[in-house]
Structure 1
Amino acid sequence: MPQLFYGHILSEGVRIQYYRTGGQKPPIILLHGLSDNALCWNRLPLVLEVEFDVIMLDARGHGSSGLDARGASPLVQAQDVCVLIESLQLHRPILIGHSMGAETAALTAARLPKMVRGVVLEDPPWQESSGADEARREKKLADWRAWLNDLKQKSLDEIIAEGKGDNPLWDESEFFQWAKAKQQVKLEALDWIVQPQPDWREIVRQIACPGLILTGEPALGAVLTPPVIQQVQKLWPKSKTVRIATAGHNVHREAYMNYLREVAAFIKRLGK
């Protein structure tokens, strides 16, 4: 990017870092997934910044953002985005989120129905059972902590090498920031996995703006299943879901050109 500014807001005393391309352009806010950071969006801001003021947020406990005793629950993260919109005086931003960030984007849109222009949700963590089994979530948290603890003992080059081995479909440019994010993220931020998750059905009922949901194949690791997609479409008539068969959970990394094509078409449909 020709220019990338950075700054921070204070959300109830917690420092939340953001990066911004700037300019007198319509705003787009990018919200990353669990254990990533703002700069993990990699190539997408390069395309968007031609026509948009792109703001990328380090979620609580990730990147250079702080964390307090409240943790990084979905509701707290949505409040951070609301504070960002108010603090930067962003007029009707588009929200784009991946996984954890998709949950944050959806909650923000539900909370600010007249202030969000549109949302793109990349494989949000919505499952048929809204109250996931507590033991299963604790097991998932333990697995994530063990994985991240192991990575934190390694050098940046070793983390990059592991990432390349595990993700052969990703572009070479993805791995540096992905690895850097693993060094930065606080283990406590992983508690998002076991913190109260609002019922996604109630969230989508409250979203007034148009939405695009991008997902991959469950067999390749995507979270969204056909029954969940059917329910979302009934509850949120202004939404459209696109399943990209070659991707799993990381659609923007595993099928970048298809992802970009769908996002560009959605933004065009929103109009100016």
Structure 2
Amino acid sequence: MTWTERTVVRDGVRISCRDWGGAGTPVVLLHGLAGHAGEWDTVAGRLSPRYRVVAVDQRGHGAGERHPRDRSRAAYVADVVAVLGRLDLRRPVLLGQSLGGHTAMLTAAGHPDLVRALVLVEAGPGGASPNTPAEIGGWLDSWPTPFPSREAAVAFFGGGPVGEGWAAGLERRDGVWWPRFDRDVMVDSLRENARRSYWDEWASITCPTLAVLGQSGIIAPEESGRMLRQRPETVAMSILGAGHDLHLERPDLLCAALERFLGDTTGPQGGLLRTP
């Protein structure tokens, strides 16, 4: 199954989506900071025979608007709500990795009537981290752009499926490869997260939730432990040997966990979120 590009415009900001079609329960995929919708292609291809899968290039990323004025958390959430409405994605499962997981979490908290279930991949409510924007800015500044070749980019990003996934987010211009985002937009998109935590929002979520962490990911045990204490009904799992980009490293295990979660039986009526 292949995808079709769909465009949603909200307040003048273009949001690009990869719509994989399908007639089942909608599943909306949200990438992390500096990511792109295409990094979900393997996951989307596996899920699309049973679910209506849409991967979103969020504002400032990928094929979406490159220089949005509003980089707030509220703007990211409003974009998701707009995508759900314009593409007729009724009560979807929201699945997000890293900053995309944070956006999914805030959407579930603020719009409980719109979200069927929430899946967080290497994401959580976090806490104040004032050094994060500078650290991320420094990391982006370390990229040796433009890359002379796609192969050079893959190698810089660590090779293997993770390197391939990050390199796929670049665009070729004048024979060399550039990021499809603006560095300052990325840093600005993190400023609210650096100033505060979102534990109240996490605690307010009522929909079924799956949290998937990498064994060597960035979510501290203290954070994941508090998440489960606040919402003990949350289903949580860790993928051995995987890191922050576990959706690229082990898409097979992520899909297996997701399919089990979506088809988890709750009684004689069958799956909680099972599609026909």
- Could you tell me which of 131, 136, 139 is aligned with 2:134? 139
Residue matched to 2:68: 68
- Check 1:56–1:182 CA distance in 2 against 1; reply closer, same or farther (3 A cut): farther
Structure 1 residues 53 and 267 mapped into 2: Cα distance closer, same or farther (>3 Å)? same
Show CA shifts across 1:54-75 (max 9, x none). 111001111111132212x322
Question: 1:85-96, aligned counterparts within 5 Å?
Answer: 85-96=84-95
Secondary structure at the aligned position of 1:151 is classed as coil
Per-residue CA deviation, residues 203-233 of structure 1 (Å, 9 max, x unaligned), is 211211011111112xx3x121222112111
1:151/1:236 Cα in 2 relative to 1: closer, same or farther (>3 Å)?
farther
Give matches, 1:12-161, under 5 Å.
12-66=11-65, 67-71=67-71, 73-124=72-123, 126-127=125-126, 130-132=127-129, 134=130, 136-148=131-143, 150-161=144-155
CA contact (8 A) 1:42 1:174 kept: no
Q: Give per-residue Cα distances to partners, 1:40-90, cap 9 Å, x unaligned.
A: 11211111110111111001111111132212x322111100111122221
**Number of the residue aligned with 1:271:** 273
**CA distance change for structure 1 residues 195 and 4 in 2, over 3 Å: closer, same or farther?**
same
More helix by share: 1
The reply on whether 1:177 has 2:168 as its aligned counterpart is yes
CA distance in 2, matches of 1:139, 1:191: 8
d(CA) in 1 for partners of 2:192 and 2:165? 31
Percent sequence identity over aligned pairs = 24
Give 1:239's match in structure 2, choosing from 225, 234, 239: 234
The structure-2 alpha-carbon separation of the partners of 1:193 and 1:85, relative to structure 1 and needing over 3 Å to count, comes to: closer
Cα RMSD, aligned residues only: 2.2
CA 1:138 to 1:93, structure 2 compared with 1: closer, same or farther past 3 Å? closer
- With over 3 angstroms needed to count, the CA separation of the structure-2 counterparts of 1:157 and 1:172, relative to structure 1, is closer
Shift of 1:171: 7.0
Letter in 1 for 2:273: G
Separation (CA, whole Å) in 2 of partners of 1:203 and 1:141: 24
- Counterpart CA distance in 1 for 2:8 and 2:244 is 30
- For 1:155-209, what per-residue CA distance to the aligned partner results, in whole angstroms no more than 9, with x for missing partners? 333212323xx244x3786465244596212223312454212522112112110
Instruction: Give 1:206's aligned residue.
Output: 204
Q: Which moved more, 1:244-253 or 1:196-205?
A: 196-205
Q: Distance in 2 between matches of 1:50 and 1:23?
A: 6
8 Å contact from structure 1 (residues 246, 254) kept in 2: no
CA distance in 2 between partners of 1:159 and 1:26 (Å): 36
Cα 1:9–1:193 change in 2 (3 A) is closer
Residues 151 and 182, structure 1, Cα contact 8 Å, conserved in 2: yes
Alpha carbons of structure 1 residues 125 and 236: separation in structure 2 relative to 1, 3 Å: closer
Q: Name the SS for the 1:54 alignment partner.
A: strand
What are the superposed Cα offsets for residues 12-53 of structure 1, whole Å, 9 maximum, x if unpaired? 110111110123322110001111110111211111110111
Deviation at 1:151, TM superposition (A): 3.1
Structure 2: which 5+ runs fail to align?
A: 172-176, 265-271
Report the Cα distance in structure 1 between the residues aligned to 2:155 and 2:32, rounded to whole angstroms.
Answer: 21
What is the distance in 2 between the residues matched to 1:154 and 1:61? Answer: 24
Report SS of the residue matched to 2:142.
helix
Tell me how many residue pairs correspond in the alignment: 259
* Native 8 Å contact 1:11 1:80 kept in 2: yes
TM-score (norm 2): 0.85
Distance of aligned partners of 1:19 and 1:256 in 2 relative to their CA distance in 1, 3 Å threshold: closer
What do the CA deviations read for 1:225-253 (whole angstroms, capped 9, x no partner)? 22211211122233121112211111112
Residue 193 and residue 144 in structure 1: after superposition, are their counterparts in 2 closer, same or farther (change >3 A)?
A: farther
Match of 1:191 in 2: 187
